[in-house]
Structure 1
Amino acid sequence: AGTQQRWFERRLPDQIHLPGSLPVQGIGDPITTNTPWMGDIVDRSWFTAPKYAPYRQPGRIKVPFWLQPDTYYAGAAWYQRDIQIPKGWTGKRVVLSLERPHWETSVWVDGRFLGTNDSLSTPHEYDLGRLAPGRLTLTIRVDNRLIVNIGVNSHCITDHTQGNWNGIVGKIELRATPRVCLEDVQIYPNVVEKKIRVRVTLRNATGRRAKGKISLFVKSRKNAPALKVPPISQNFDAADREMTTELEVHLGAGAKDWDEFSPALYRLTAEIRGAAGGKTFEEKRATTFGLREISTDGTQFLINGRKTFFRGTLECCVFPKTGHPPTDVTSWRRVIRIAKAYGLNLLRFHSYCPPEAAFEAADQLGMYLQVETCWANQSTTLGDGRPVDQWVYRETDRILKYYGNHPSFMLMPYGNEPGGKNAAAYLARYVARYQALDPRRLWTSGSGWPQLPENQFDVTPDPRIQAWGAGLKSRINAQSPETKTDYRDYIEKRPVPVISHEIGQWCAYPDFADIPKYTGYLKPENFEIFRDFLDAHHLGRQARQFLLASGQLQLLCYKEDIESALRTPAMGGFELLGLTDFPGQGTALVGVLDPFWDSKDYVTAKEFRRFCNSTVPL
């Protein structure tokens, strides 16, 4: 909508606040029985069952599938603003950066089309070229429909978790660079030799030969002893539009490694100075890094040569007040501090990649991260020549470019539980490509499956208490409680480390006292339905008792799930589903914490750490 009508040449009359989204500001259509939700609704009884009839009435719609926005809009939205180009930017290259749009953006400046971007994980950056000083009109079209069918249940787009919002959040900025500039800086640590290899890519938009010098400077940043590293310089001669070179920096014997116990950080500044076509240029770019390596030894992970067991939980892009994940470091530091307080050292971002702020917070606090692109299943498949195949490669490349230097970024599968008869062959090629391209992290096919010879580690649901469909036949239901069972027979047959996939999924009763917390974008109409049902059976007064009793049972189940993994010799780790509640898929209250990362009051972090920590009694 709007492109054929050339809205980019019009003055758009309405106003909205950016950074922000349409639904948070009340823009969109009312919720109805025909709202075009993004995500599978497996149990469709809400649409027909008499007990849900009161919740299907116009103006009083309440759904039990997931948290519910007040309004909903899926389509193109147009955003416009006049911008002022200062005189000091004359002759420079101007770049527009949009930190986290949802989803596809298209950009025009004074009616001139500049391109599109379909990343869900990284900033959308547009080269506006050289702009004359003065006022210009910037127009951005954002489309949050299913631009590429990457799987409607992917947490980067689905209504199961963050909601299918339209907008632009995070930083929105224009910046000026010289026409010979630093396009990319990637850092490859060598822990044993206490050095880094730095790959610098220059962009030359002058059309002339550019000559100059690259210099690298390293300083201690956080939790790291002061280093005296002499600057490293190298001359360059760039005749082409793009040039890549590598430099090596020795940090010295005093350089400290980065890990969960000692997250020592350093800052590298790359600087270029030179001339092209008789005009001088200079630019600097700073990036944070840690001296960290990850490898494997049989079925165990090694971080800087030390055996490490991953104790993880899923983070499914659940942020009810905004929908979108936070773009500030403070919010992520809170999440990570809570996760660490409960004895965890890994966050798995299920079928999505968080913003830069999450990586920064994890670097600072010593949290390991597993990043993903999507969940290509149910509505699509991998490896069958669909558009998702190339999108996953593009998105992975973008993730590595923007976040690859972060020491917290440890693990990467393509995404979650892939579907498709040709998915295994596709993922074998994917893993092989990225192992060679970026050895700073470990690669696997997918979270859940398949187990392939190319995988550097496996994430599989096999070693967990409650197998899919086991029902009352599972160990925890069919046998008496005990503390001896482990998964050593399974692990001994594996060639690589194994992380148990989405263990837990033990549910507790709803905490209706949480309802007033939902003051933002997403509302707990599902809880209101459940509360009504309870009241109709004259049990509403016992809701708190039901919560605490079911919570204690939930806690015992999680304890056994975690301890079974911890007492398995040479196992690689586990990923919980989850430490926090999951609001989608019909409402899955699987957490000992609510969606706001607050306690439900039946277990403290200290109590949880007694059986979930780097060292525990077994």
Structure 2
Amino acid sequence: GIWEFAMRPKSRESRPEKFDDHILVPFCVESALSGVKKKVVETDMLWYRRTFDVPRQWAGQRLLLHFGAVDWETTVWVNGRKVGDHRGGYDPFSFDITDMLKASGSQEIVLSVWDPTDKGRQARGKQQIIPEGFMYTPASGIWQTVWIEPVPSSHIRSIHVEPNIDENCVWVTVDAANTNDGYTIQARTLLPGPGEKAGTISVVAESRAGQRLRISLRKEPKTRLWSPDSPFLYDLDVTLKDQAGKTIDTVESYFGMRKISIGKDERGINRIMFNNKQLFQYGLLDQGWWPDGLYTAPTDEALRYDIETAKRLGFNMVRKHVKFEPQRFYSWCDKLGVIVWQDMPSGGGNSDERKRQFELELRRMIDASRNHPSIVMWVAFNEGWGQFDAPRIARWIKNYDPTRLTNHASGWADRGDFGDVRDIHLYPGPGVGPALPNRAMVLGEFGAHGMAVKGNSWGDDSRWSKYGPEETDRLTNAYLRTIRALRPMIYMGLSGAVYTQITDIENELNGLMTYDRELLKMDARQITAVNLTLYDPPPVVKTVLTTSQQTPQIWRYTNTKPGKELKKWQNRKMS
């Protein structure tokens, strides 16, 4: 909705006497949809103000003020009293504002937000105050939904769902506030019968509040596993009851029965296993930018459209690149059957404070989205961008969430045998490294065939545009050649690949679609057909003569210009 807005020098820390502008939340200050569209620099402070009335039916309840995401450092006041602070541009946070409310009348919310973007060391992804190349316009301030939720004094704060397909059960952990001895948690799901699309057979588990619940599914009807081909979701109702058995609070959710792991194929090569079976994961680099909303999709339909387009073109995965999206994005991936490799937004600097903040935001990101079956991999660092202590971070992630794969560095800055995958980047590629004893091999970025389309491009940077606007056939053929070269690499040990990228972004013109999503640059029928071949059994590749890519080779060299005598040559292993 519309909030009052003001931008003042950061040096003036007191709230403005007058809010002289308005802004449409949840769009960032720099975006056209915000109605402001102003540049924000590190010396600016953003101020927001909004009033609201408490509905009568909320009387006697606690009121929680929720923020989906605000970039970057936020302070909140309600009716002139400070509620709290938050640092982090991507993770959701909330405050209990009940005790700050007046007995009646209009209530006031005021926010101050400071965002240094690339002048700071915080996690910020690809935001840059002066955008250029593959760094884009920043997204300062509120950029996700803000809402107020009434809850009883004793209420469910969060639930954590952990499916186990090998034991045919799902574990449910509930965090509840203000519960006493005798309070119980009930978790209920519905199993679909044969031929049914929705569940009708009730399965219930119940225990004391604070205990982990196990919902055991039945052998019959057979459990439906979540996969890109069949993204079945089970409904889940979680209820909090008091000592008398009275229902105090209820949360409706869902879960998918899905397993992701690393296993050996019949030739002893490590593969990514999906529900205990080999499944090649082929996706698009998805950076989540829009020309009008920047970091925020203009509508929920727009958010869904990108996911549906990827699925329609034969991709079964997206790599969400150095950005953490609103929960609606992952919910659509759950429902539509699109796998997600999730990056942690990158930052910079090596101070202890910056490292602690990065790890705090990483944990919050996992906590906020770990119930989504679509997310199968956490990517700690993109290449060497802000990378630190990568082996330790990889071990921490795996211990914190053992149900997903860990990728400590996507591309180039690999630190050794840590995590579950070895991730390489190769442009235009494709390429594959040697099979490894403990990790699967993936190609985290490749492709990036670019074409500018006049009238549908933000800019015209020739670095990203090899093909002209009338060369759709040439661009399509380049893509087809690339994917045909990719397919034999699956036999050689490749478990997944990510093509760059789903859309153009500002001056970067290597997307399958234009930045405004109005035009698909390639022939949809042809690229869909070639994409689908990646899920067929790969062709057998027989090595006639090994190269240094697979096996180190012996070369001979000398430190002086060789003559007829060859005795001076020495042997050296090259790889």
Residue 429 (1) aligns with residue 392 (2): yes
- 2:453 — aligned with what? 511
Mapping for residues 165-204 of structure 1, pairs under 5 Å: 165-204=139-178
Shift of 1:604: 2.1
Secondary structure at 2:24's aligned position in 1?
A: coil
User: Counterpart amino acid of 2:202?
Assistant: V
Secondary structure at 1:340's aligned position in 2?
A: helix
- 1:296 — aligned with what? 262
Whole-angstrom CA distance in 1 between matches of 2:246 and 2:83: 27
- 1:231 — aligned with what? 204
Secondary structure at 2:241's aligned position in 1?
A: strand
Shift of 1:251: 2.3
**Contact 1:220/1:226 (<8 A) preserved:** yes
- 1:496 — aligned with what? 439
- 2:554 — aligned with what? none
**Which has the larger displacement, 326-335 or 311-320?**
326-335
- 1:418 — aligned with what? 384
Whole-angstrom CA distance in 1 between matches of 2:378 and 2:170: 22
Unaligned stretches of 5+ residues in structure 2 = 1-7, 265-269, 540-575
Residue 257 (1) aligns with residue 225 (2): yes
User: Counterpart amino acid of 1:219?
Assistant: L
Whole-angstrom CA distance in 1 between matches of 2:280 and 2:466: 36
**Contact 1:375/1:418 (<8 A) preserved:** no
Whole-angstrom CA distance in 2 between matches of 1:592 and 1:173: 35
**Contact 1:504/1:557 (<8 A) preserved:** no
Residue 605 (1) aligns with residue 528 (2): no
Mapping for residues 440-451 of structure 1, pairs under 5 Å: 440-448=403-411, 449-451=413-415
- 1:403 — aligned with what? 369
Q: 1:170 to 1:87 in 2, by over 3 A?
A: same
Secondary structure at 1:454's aligned position in 2?
A: coil
Secondary structure at 1:187's aligned position in 2?
A: strand
Mapping for residues 203-242 of structure 1, pairs under 5 Å: 203-204=177-178, 209=180, 211-219=182-190, 224-236=197-209
- 1:73 — aligned with what? 40
User: Counterpart amino acid of 2:495?
Assistant: G
Shift of 1:152: 6.2
TM-score by length of 2: 0.80
Whole-angstrom CA distance in 1 between matches of 2:135 and 2:146: 24
Whole-angstrom CA distance in 1 between matches of 2:29 and 2:232: 40
- 1:270 — aligned with what? 238
Whole-angstrom CA distance in 1 between matches of 2:488 and 2:529: 14
Whole-angstrom CA distance in 2 between matches of 1:25 and 1:116: 28
**Contact 2:191/2:201 (<8 A) preserved:** no
Mapping for residues 308-323 of structure 1, pairs under 5 Å: 308-323=279-294
**Contact 1:155/1:350 (<8 A) preserved:** no
Structure 1 residue corresponding to 2:499, chosen from 554, 576, 580: 576
Residue 113 (1) aligns with residue 82 (2): yes
Shift of 1:150: 3.4
Whole-angstrom CA distance in 2 between matches of 1:27 and 1:183: 31
User: Counterpart amino acid of 1:300?
Assistant: R
Whole-angstrom CA distance in 1 between matches of 2:191 and 2:300: 20
Structure 1 residue corresponding to 2:103, chosen from 118, 133, 143: 133
**Contact 2:453/2:468 (<8 A) preserved:** no
Whole-angstrom CA distance in 2 between matches of 1:233 and 1:188: 16
Shift of 1:387: 3.2
Shift of 1:338: 1.0
- 2:122 — aligned with what? 150
Secondary structure at 2:494's aligned position in 1?
A: coil
Q: 1:531-567: per-residue Cα shift (whole Å, max 9, x none)?
A: xxxxxxxxxxxx9993233x44443333333233321
**Contact 1:162/1:323 (<8 A) preserved:** no
Whole-angstrom CA distance in 2 between matches of 1:214 and 1:574: 42
Q: 1:487-520: per-residue Cα shift (whole Å, max 9, x none)?
A: 4xx3334531111131112323x211325xxxxx
Whole-angstrom CA distance in 1 between matches of 2:21 and 2:312: 46
User: Counterpart amino acid of 2:516?
Assistant: F
Whole-angstrom CA distance in 2 between matches of 1:579 and 1:86: 43
Q: 1:148 to 1:218 in 2, by over 3 A?
A: farther
Shift of 1:577: 1.3
TM-score by length of 1: 0.74
**Contact 2:450/2:467 (<8 A) preserved:** no
- 1:49 — aligned with what? none
Identity of counterpart residues, as a percentage? 19
Unaligned stretches of 5+ residues in structure 1 = 30-69, 237-243, 468-485, 516-523, 531-542
How many aligned positions are there?
509
Whole-angstrom CA distance in 2 between matches of 1:166 and 1:260: 35
- 1:562 — aligned with what? 483
Q: 1:17-56: per-residue Cα shift (whole Å, max 9, x none)?
A: 3333333469899xxxxxxxxxxxxxxxxxxxxxxxxxxx
Secondary structure at 1:21's aligned position in 2?
A: coil
User: Counterpart amino acid of 1:611?
Assistant: V
Residue 392 (1) aligns with residue 358 (2): yes
Shift of 1:157: 8.7
**Which has the larger displacement, 448-457 or 257-266?**
448-457
Shift of 1:223: 8.7
> Looking at both structures, which has the greater relative contact order when contacts are Cα pairs under 8 Å and sequence separation is at least 6?
1
Q: 1:366-411: per-residue Cα shift (whole Å, max 9, x none)?
A: 00011112224xxx24xx4343312222222222222111110111
User: Counterpart amino acid of 1:459?
Assistant: D
- 1:595 — aligned with what? 515
**Contact 2:68/2:93 (<8 A) preserved:** yes
- 1:51 — aligned with what? none
Mapping for residues 15-26 of structure 1, pairs under 5 Å: 15-24=22-31
Q: 1:412-438: per-residue Cα shift (whole Å, max 9, x none)?
A: 111311257xx46x1211111121211
**Contact 2:184/2:240 (<8 A) preserved:** yes
Structure 1 residue corresponding to 2:72, chosen from 91, 100, 103: 103
Whole-angstrom CA distance in 2 between matches of 1:200 and 1:322: 35
Whole-angstrom CA distance in 2 between matches of 1:28 and 1:269: 40
Shift of 1:9: 8.6
- 1:57 — aligned with what? none
Q: 1:598 to 1:152 in 2, by over 3 A?
A: same
**Contact 1:201/1:245 (<8 A) preserved:** no
CA RMSD of aligned residues (A): 3.3
Shift of 1:158: 8.4
Shift of 1:166: 3.1
Secondary structure at 1:596's aligned position in 2?
A: coil
Mapping for residues 26-45 of structure 1, pairs under 5 Å: none
Whole-angstrom CA distance in 1 between matches of 2:403 and 2:234: 16
**Contact 1:465/1:503 (<8 A) preserved:** yes
